[in-house]
């Protein structure tokens, strides 16, 4: 039975991979609409022939990897269950420790290490791909260091969350999902609060903006928008990437406006001011708090669905999955599989909300700086630095794009320039 299910899963995944390969490399065409060819939104007007070729090649590979990596994760969880690996990890942990927290920690260490090792080749391929196309400038030791940090940080947080989760499942089999969600609320807000001052500095060096003349302009812009701010931060990213970025992070007193040094080095002051106005728009429009609310709502729905789906799957397929009871730690890969499935298929909704927020922030920025030329040129530079796909297929836009495609953003402000 196990062999049959394993072969069926591999066969289904293989068919899916072939379908995705044919779609991205031989099927879809994300060319520029005839009406926009030769305009400021057409990448051929601001990218070289070589950059256009590289952008097209890289976009196809990135999209293909995105759409196969998550189903591959599902396949891994499935095999960890049906081959009895999860049950074996639980047995090893129980033999070593009597305390529940230590057993949970050991089980999660085994599971996390196995997943890290199996997924490492794909992660390394992504790293080398970014290096080969000139996006990443990060040396291997630095990249590997970040992977190790990710492993231990995620393991530490997982021990806390999983220990509490399974305690709730055992204590309240019917309402565990509601209690788990209630604990998610303060935990998520706490992580948002400490991220800028505790987590982010582990990976990068942050400092107040060194260009004081530019900082004065940015703070003046913030004052004009009635946004209380004393500092703008820059982060040293040029050792890792050639891409450009700026963002707002954190909540309350720990909120920060952050500029990558690559952005400072590549863009003009006017372009930077537009980007800063965009980020101020997110702050003023309360997008961070809206995102927290959306995340918590979707988490509530997700936990409720898991509470319905997981017991049913164990009752029907428990012998195949080697799971006897949902409260047993060896059921965790099934919990993760269902969670990943729900997150993947809810991403079009969350991405649509995010794209709407980005459109509002763009509109706020242009009202504040009144410089559509800077908006157009900054978007062109962002595209150039990241070799981004300006007009992705609908499937890619739905599942991958948290921002509107550059074709739409550039064309919107280019039309404003023409109207003026």
The DSSP annotation for 193-238 comes to HHIIIIIHHHHS-EEE-S-HHHHHHHHHHHHHTT---S--EEE--T
Residue 339 located in a structural domain: yes
Q: Would you state the pLDDT for residue 407?
A: 92
Output the average pLDDT for the chain: 90
Residue 363 located in a structural domain: yes
Binding residues for Zn(2+): 278, 282, 358
Residue 150 C-alpha from the chain's centroid: 14
Q: Rounded to the nearest 5°, which phi and psi values hold at 175?
A: -115, 15
Tens digits of residue pLDDT in 31-85: 788 888 888 888 999 999 999 999 999 999 999 999 999 999 999 999 999 999 9
Percentage of the chain with pLDDT > 70?
Answer: 96
Degrees to nearest 5, angle at CA 372 with 370 and 374: 100
Q: How confident is the model at residue 2 (pLDDT cuts 50, 70, 90)?
A: confident
Q: Would you state the pLDDT for residue 188?
A: 84
Q: Is pTM beyond 0.75 here?
A: yes
Residue 370 falls in the annotated catalytic set: no
Element (H, E) at 251: none
Residue 18 located in a structural domain: no
Among candidate residues 82, 76, 92, the one with its CA nearest the CA of residue 322? 82
Most confident of 205-214, 217-226, 272-281: 272-281
What's the domain range around 416? 172-420
- List of residues 6+ apart from 178 with CB closer than 8 A: 303, 304
For residues 176 and 181, what is the distance between their CA atoms, to the nearest angstrom?
9
Question: Roughly what angle, to the nearest 10 degrees, separates helices 332-369 and 287-321?
Answer: 160
Residue 273 located in a structural domain: yes
Residue 108 located in a structural domain: no
- Per-residue pLDDT, averaged over 377-389, amounts to 92
- Per-residue pLDDT, averaged over 187-215, amounts to 84
Residue 250 C-alpha from the chain's centroid: 16
Residue 269 falls in the annotated catalytic set: no
Q: Which of 42, 90, 362, 389 is catalytic?
A: 362
Tens digits of residue pLDDT in 297-321: 999 999 999 999 999 999 999 999 9
Q: Would you state the pLDDT for residue 316?
A: 92
Beta-carbon count within 10 A of 8 CB:
10
Q: What is the DSSP track for 82-129?
A: HTTHHHHHHHHHHHH-SSHHHHHHHHHHHHHHHHHHHHHHHHHHHHHH
Residue 32 located in a structural domain: no
For residues 403 and 378, what is the distance between their CA atoms, to the nearest angstrom?
15
Q: What are the CA-CA distances from residue 131 to residues 66, 134, 153 (Å)?
A: 18, 5, 25
- Out of 84-88, 198-202, 377-381, pick the least confident: 198-202
* pLDDT surpasses 90 at 141: yes
For residues 273 and 369, what is the distance between their CA atoms, to the nearest angstrom?
7
Residue 341 located in a structural domain: yes
Q: Which of 279, 287, 389, 408 is catalytic?
A: 279
Q: How confident is the model at residue 190 (pLDDT cuts 50, 70, 90)?
A: confident
Domain count, the chain: 1
Residue 406 located in a structural domain: yes
Binding residues: 278, 282, 358
- Out of 42-51, 254-263, 345-354, pick the least confident: 254-263
């Amino acid at each position: 039975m196990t062999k049959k299910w394993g072969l069926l899963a591999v066969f289904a995944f293989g068919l899916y991979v072939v379908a995705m390969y044919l779609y991205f490399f031989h099927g879809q065409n994300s060319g520029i609409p005839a009406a926009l060819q030769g305009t400021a939104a057409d990448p051929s007007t601001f990218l070289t022939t070589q950059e256009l070729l590289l952008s097209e090649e890289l976009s196809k590979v990135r999209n293909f990897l995105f759409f196969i990596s998550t189903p591959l994760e599902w396949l891994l969880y499935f095999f960890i269950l049906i081959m009895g690996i999860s049950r074996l990890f639980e047995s090893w942990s129980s033999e070593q420790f009597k305390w529940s927290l230590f057993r949970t920690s050991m089980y999660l260490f085994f599971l996390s290490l196995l997943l890290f090792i199996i997924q490492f080749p794909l992660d390394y391929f992504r790293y080398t791909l970014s290096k080969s196309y000139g996006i990443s400038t990060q040396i291997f030791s630095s990249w590997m260091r970040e992977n190790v940090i990710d492993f231990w940080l995620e393991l530490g947080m997982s021990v806390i969350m999983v220990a509490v989760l399974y305690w709730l499942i055992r204590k309240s089999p019917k309402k565990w999902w509601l209690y788990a969600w209630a604990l998610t609320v303060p935990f998520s807000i706490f992580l948002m609060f400490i991220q800028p001052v505790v987590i982010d500095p582990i990976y990068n060096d942050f400092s107040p903006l060194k260009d004081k003349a530019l900082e004065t302009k940015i703070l003046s812009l913030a004052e004009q928008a009635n946004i209380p701010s004393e500092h703008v931060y820059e982060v040293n990213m040029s050792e890792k990437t050639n891409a450009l970025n700026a963002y707002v992070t954190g909540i309350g007193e720990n909120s920060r406006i952050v500029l990558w040094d690559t952005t400072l080095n590549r863009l003009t002051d006017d372009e930077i001011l537009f980007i800063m106005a965009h980020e101020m728009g997110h702050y003023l429009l309360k997008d961070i708090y809206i995102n927290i609310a959306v995340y918590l709502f979707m988490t509530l729905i997700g936990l409720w669905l898991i509470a319905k789906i997981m017991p049913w799957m164990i009752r029907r397929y428990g012998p195949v999955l080697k799971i006897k009871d949902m409260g047993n730690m060896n059921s965790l890969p099934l919990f993760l599989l269902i969670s990943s499935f729900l997150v993947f298929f809810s991403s079009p909704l969350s991405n649509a909300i995010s794209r709407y927020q980005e459109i509002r922030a763009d509109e706020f920025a242009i009202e504040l700086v009144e410089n559509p030329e800077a908006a157009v040129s900054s978007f062109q530079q962002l595209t150039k630095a990241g070799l981004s796909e300006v007009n992705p297929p609908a499937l890619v836009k739905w599942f991958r794009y948290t921002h509107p495609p550059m074709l739409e953003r550039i064309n919107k402000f280019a039309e404003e320039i023409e109207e003026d």
